[in-house]
Amino acid sequence: MPDCDSGHRIAADPMEGTSPAEPPGLETSEQFTPAELRLATRNHGLPLEALEYDLTPAGLHYLLIHYDIPAVDAAAWRLEVGGRVDTELSLTLSDLFALAARTEAVTLECAGNGRAQLSPRPISQPWLLEAVGTAEWTGVPLRTVLEQAGIGGKAVEVSFRGLDRGVEGGEEQAYERSLPLADALRDEVLLAYEMNGESLPPQHGFPLRLVVPGWYGMTSVKWLDRITVLDRPFTGYQQRQSYRVRQRPEDEGEPVSRMLPRSLMIPPGIPDFATRERRIAMGTWRMRGRAWSGFGAIARVEASADGGESWSDAELGPQPSRWAWRAWEWEWDAERPGVHELCCRATDEAGNVQPVTAPWNLGGYANNEVHRVPVVVHEPGDSA
């Protein structure tokens, strides 16, 4: 994982000396490309005002779909379990429904959250800050199914394949990712068939998806059709090529895994339609937001109204689930008219703190810089 405290400025040019035309492609202008627009209209984020809900309604939860949403016939669908197992399994949805279920409230965040604020900017899904959501996922613990198949002695990893296919980095592939065996066997890892008490919507992985609490979203493979127990590390594209923190294309890089701490605030006041600049009235504001981390519970959230020059502690709400975001509140006296920059930053119990600027990397992954919201404070009766 990147070291959150080493502060490269994101505006630095780490591609100096290499060709900017090399994949995955970097954009230095502030103008977004048609490729980014196409991705952005398919994959929406969480409107930040929806940080309001403990559980994100399914339609407001962020979405990230690399290829196309597969249409799955639930009656014909099977989950195949094979590789280094004692008995291969082919499970129907009814087989899964018959096993003891577990429900977990889980915050998922895309590893590319924050990417669009980088410079140069990796050409990919151009997230600003809203690639997050929290849902209650119900399903069978993965461990139950792995134990039913019987894990072979030489097993080291488990891979998860989705039904969706596409081309990435010139390679035709099904979306597939793996987990080390010890992580795959953790109690909270689910084969989920329900989201917020309803069967999975097509876009979130119907009929079955993996949910790996604490890890960035790419781990939670949707439209699951095959689980393979492996006696060596998985080397598919999404593991070997994608989702690695690297500075140059030829670097081996560090795999992206757990979510670094992040806090977001509900932007106060009202937005301008086109620019979304916030307008608020003078007075006392109760700022609210959410914070989460894959490395431990949230221990502290701080807020600032002067662009991060001075910070004070926000009040933490309950942590309803180890794997779900935690609410926070902070009172701010907006007493001076003009522009103010509100900021928030979280610290987890492992001691990770959100940095003011996170180190740049080629894929734009795991960027957890502090959230900044400029607001314009108006005097009462001033409509200009």
Ligand X SMILES: Nc1nc2c(c(=O)[nH]1)N[C@H]1C(S)=C(S)[C@@H](COP(=O)(O)O)O[C@H]1N2
Amino acid at 320: P
| CA distance readout (Å), 112 to 45, 67, 241, 323 | 12, 16, 15, 19
What's the order of all strands across the beta sheet hosting 262-265?
A: 262-265, 283-292, 326-334, 315-316
Alpha-carbon dihedral sign for residues 18, 24, 28, 34: positive
Q: Which is nearer to ligand X, 145 or 301 (CB)?
A: 145
CA dihedral of 156, 161, 166, 171, whole degrees rounded to 10: 20
CA dihedral of 228, 231, 236, 241, whole degrees rounded to 10: 140
User: What gap in Å lies between CA 302 and CA 324, rounded to an integer?
Assistant: 19
Please report whether residue 175 would count as binding ligand X according to CB under 6 A. yes
- Cα atoms in the 13 Å half-sphere on the side-chain side of 310: 5
DSSP H helices in 135-193: 142-149, 181-184
Please report whether residue 226 would count as binding ligand X according to CB under 6 A. no
CA 90 from chain center: how many Å?
A: 30
Segment interacting with Mo ion, rule: CB under 5 A, options 63-71, 178-186, 189-197, 231-239: 63-71
- The minimum distance between CB 348 and ligand X, in angstroms, equals 20
CB neighbours of residue 249 within 10 Å: 14
From residue 315 to residue 354, what is the string marking binding to ligand X with x (rule CB under 6 A)? ----------------------------------------
- The minimum distance between CB 217 and Mo ion, in angstroms, equals 4
- Cα atoms in the 13 Å half-sphere on the side-chain side of 140: 20
**Partner in contact with 345, chosen from Mo ion, ligand X, none, beta carbon below 5 to 8 Å by kind:** none
Segment interacting with ligand X, rule: CB under 6 A, options 31-39, 214-222, 324-332, 370-378: 214-222
- The minimum distance between CB 15 and Mo ion, in angstroms, equals 23
**Partner in contact with 214, chosen from Mo ion, ligand X, none, beta carbon below 5 to 8 Å by kind:** none
- The minimum distance between CB 264 and ligand X, in angstroms, equals 16
Angle, CA of 113, 159 and 153, to the nearest 5°: 140
Please report whether residue 217 would count as binding ligand X according to CB under 6 A. yes
- The minimum distance between CB 240 and ligand X, in angstroms, equals 16
Secondary structure (3-state) at 178: strand
Q: What single-letter DSSP state applies at residue 50?
A: G
CA 67 from chain center: how many Å?
A: 18
- The minimum distance between CB 64 and ligand X, in angstroms, equals 4
DSSP H helices in 43-186: 93-97, 142-149, 181-184
Which residue from 193, 206, 223, 234 is in contact with ligand X, where contact means CB under 6 A?
A: 223
**Partner in contact with 280, chosen from Mo ion, ligand X, none, beta carbon below 5 to 8 Å by kind:** none
Please report whether residue 265 would count as binding Mo ion according to CB under 5 A. no
**Partner in contact with 115, chosen from Mo ion, ligand X, none, beta carbon below 5 to 8 Å by kind:** none
- The minimum distance between CB 133 and ligand X, in angstroms, equals 6
Secondary structure (3-state) at 127: coil
Q: Which of residues 19-78 bind ligand X (CB under 6 A)?
A: 61-66
Please report whether residue 218 would count as binding Mo ion according to CB under 5 A. yes
Q: Which of residues 82-111 bind Mo ion (CB under 5 A)?
A: 110
Structure-block tokens of residue 88? 């291969």
Please report whether residue 115 would count as binding ligand X according to CB under 6 A. no
**Partner in contact with 137, chosen from ligand X, Mo ion, none, beta carbon below 5 to 8 Å by kind:** none
**Partner in contact with 61, chosen from ligand X, Mo ion, none, beta carbon below 5 to 8 Å by kind:** ligand X
Which residue from 130, 164, 225, 369 is in contact with ligand X, where contact means CB under 6 A?
A: 164
Q: Which of residues 130-159 bind ligand X (CB under 6 A)?
A: 133
**Partner in contact with 220, chosen from Mo ion, ligand X, none, beta carbon below 5 to 8 Å by kind:** ligand X
The contact set with Mo ion (CB under 5 A) reads: 64, 110, 217-218
The contact set with ligand X (CB under 6 A) reads: 61-66, 108, 110, 133, 162, 164, 175, 204, 217-218, 220-223
